[in-house]
Structure 1
């Protein structure tokens, strides 16, 4: 029994020593893990809810017309300025020809205003001379009227004494009547001459307002016609639709012979060289995240063999739920708190994108190094 008890005691001691050793290992491991988490791992946040995106350029016509040629197809790589679609330019050429004719007509019309101004100046001089002549004629008629009036009064006074005959009085009356009629005619001519002068001056003022402080090239009518011609030139240039940036053609919907309207989507150009990532982090992960912090990313397309390096470029103005088509109404009914996710935009390295191209919508995993708080 003594030997058995001693064996049991040794076995218990061995077991206790092993348990204490295991506890020590567990404690050291826990302390190491805690230290690692506190000093290093807690400064990194990661998510696999991330997807590639790009500022896709929608190709739409600025003018309407019939599609004459389509030079791009889906998946085709295009350069900025490369022709994608050509519209039939017939209508645009006719509009340009009409605008040019309108410009020439406007120039001639404005030049005629200048010539009319000189003509009206000459007419004013002639009307002023007519007014002076009418004034002189009125003065002469007034003098003749006064003389005939005096002569008639004298003869009528001498008629009773027989010093003059009845025929002389009759002739005096006739002369007075003629002088009176001439005076009325002279007054009417003077009034007409004054009216003609005022009319000529008004016509000159109206014509002068059309050319005041301008030249034929700077006249508003010419400027308007020239602007319409420039617009017609622009519309003609817009019948050739070019790529606004480098990228890959996607979602081509336009076909040869199709009649398109301004603003109709024809295709899209995806700038694969300017790809970025929208990483959707939980709101509780973003406490230490700042713009400019480095990010490591992996694409499901290439796996862990390819690592992308980026930086935090910015934060969305709201969570995905806030901008959804039917946002949550948390103020109604029973409420269950759900941790929200906020899109974080990550800018990728251009050289790495060129070496390992990505497409829009691919899955990514992202890890932000939040140690830098600047």
Structure 2
């Protein structure tokens, strides 16, 4: 009984101890879960507000607006002053085309210009000559008018003499021979009058012709001078074109850069449009970064970009600015675009090229080349 009495009061105390232990363990577990939840929440907030402010891609490559050097004239290459990998400055002479044909064309254009200027002077002189002819024709008209008046008077006198002789011939006072002579005088006077009238008409016609020629001549030079007449302007334009073609026989660099893809040799004959070489500008490079479509939600033009190149490694960083987005994905502009309307469609995450402009000063310190790989990190908080 003693043992039973001793064990009976110990059972409730043991159960209470067990419950307290379970409660302590449960409380400890709940505290641990709460701590883990708090840690996860803090990590999420840190990722959300600290590490979720950038998007990165290593699918980026250096590009440039290259200059294609072509010939603008026809001729034979006399000398080439550059080669691949050589750096040139804007205005440097690259290729010399034989200028002799162009020089001959310039001489011909100069001669045509002088000829046109002399023709203008001759036209001015013709105006003076035609004006003098008009004055002379006026005197000729006056003289012819006087001749007509004299011929009319002579005809009237001859007609009166003939009429009197006709009256006298009926009485036999004059002979038939004298009457015939008088009639012949009348006919002669009529003929002289006709000649005088024809001379007057010719003088008037000559005056009208001179006036027409003067008006036509004046129309050619009216409102113009030796430098503005149409023929002179055409000749000047031809001379300018000839001088421009002569200037184009010297092909010069349009910008600073590096020569590449030179495919011209001395003695080769070129024509307008012949590609000679290319020049890649070193300080006007950009990067086309191909981001996934899921990364572009917050990417905007004007945001700052940090870039590194495989050429220099992580020790050299470039600062760039987003200047624009491509009008379509790479797949959309592929030579053979994907046909997603087929039954074998599988969704593929697309990439959109983003144009990033590089800082010219940084490019001077660490030059890049077209086609090099880059890694781009966009700061989404920048504007």
TM over 0.5: yes
- Equivalences for residues 58-137 of structure 1 within 5 A: 58-137=68-147
Shift in CA distance, 20/120, structure 1 to aligned 2, threshold 3 Å: same
1:196 to 206, 218, 224: 206
Q: How many Å apart are 1:14 and its aligned residue?
A: 11
Q: How many Å apart are 1:345 and its aligned residue?
A: 1.1
Shift in CA distance, 175/329, structure 1 to aligned 2, threshold 3 Å: farther
Determine the C-alpha separation between the residues in 2 that align with 1:324 and 1:202: 72
Determine the C-alpha separation between the residues in 1 that align with 2:220 and 2:310: 72
Residue 145 (structure 1) aligned with residue 155 (structure 2)? yes
Q: How many Å apart are 1:317 and its aligned residue?
A: 2.9
Q: How many Å apart are 1:303 and its aligned residue?
A: 2.0
Deviations 1:208-230 (A, max 9, x none): 12211111122221222122112
What corresponds to 1:325 in structure 2? Answer: 335
Q: How many Å apart are 1:332 and its aligned residue?
A: 6.7
Deviations 1:166-207 (A, max 9, x none): 223112111111011111111211111111111111111222
- Equivalences for residues 104-253 of structure 1 within 5 A: 104-253=114-263
Determine the C-alpha separation between the residues in 2 that align with 1:336 and 1:157: 136
Determine the C-alpha separation between the residues in 1 that align with 2:136 and 2:84: 78
Determine the C-alpha separation between the residues in 1 that align with 2:210 and 2:78: 58
Determine the C-alpha separation between the residues in 2 that align with 1:140 and 1:206: 36
Determine the C-alpha separation between the residues in 2 that align with 1:296 and 1:86: 44
Shift in CA distance, 327/134, structure 1 to aligned 2, threshold 3 Å: farther
Determine the C-alpha separation between the residues in 2 that align with 1:170 and 1:328: 120
1:290 to 280, 290, 300: 300
SS of equivalent to 1:74: coil
Q: How many Å apart are 1:82 and its aligned residue?
A: 0.7
Determine the C-alpha separation between the residues in 2 that align with 1:122 and 1:237: 48
What corresponds to 2:284 in structure 1? Answer: 274
State the TM-score, normalizing by the size of structure 2.
0.87
Superposition RMSD in Å? 2.7
Q: How many Å apart are 1:324 and its aligned residue?
A: 3.2
Shift in CA distance, 182/45, structure 1 to aligned 2, threshold 3 Å: same
State the TM-score, normalizing by the size of structure 1.
0.89
In structure 2, runs of 5+ residues without a counterpart are 1-16
Q: How many Å apart are 1:77 and its aligned residue?
A: 0.7
SS of equivalent to 1:63: coil
Shift in CA distance, 364/266, structure 1 to aligned 2, threshold 3 Å: same
Shift in CA distance, 309/178, structure 1 to aligned 2, threshold 3 Å: same
In structure 1, runs of 5+ residues without a counterpart are 1-5
SS of equivalent to 1:197: helix
Determine the C-alpha separation between the residues in 1 that align with 2:231 and 2:291: 61
Q: How many Å apart are 1:282 and its aligned residue?
A: 2.6
Higher mean C-alpha displacement, 335-344 vs 176-185 = 335-344
Aligned residues: 367
What corresponds to 1:315 in structure 2? Answer: 325
Q: Considering only CA atoms, is the larger Rg found in Structure 1 or Structure 2?
A: 2
Determine the C-alpha separation between the residues in 2 that align with 1:159 and 1:232: 91
What corresponds to 2:56 in structure 1? Answer: 46
Higher mean C-alpha displacement, 175-184 vs 326-335 = 326-335
Shift in CA distance, 233/20, structure 1 to aligned 2, threshold 3 Å: same
Determine the C-alpha separation between the residues in 2 that align with 1:10 and 1:223: 113
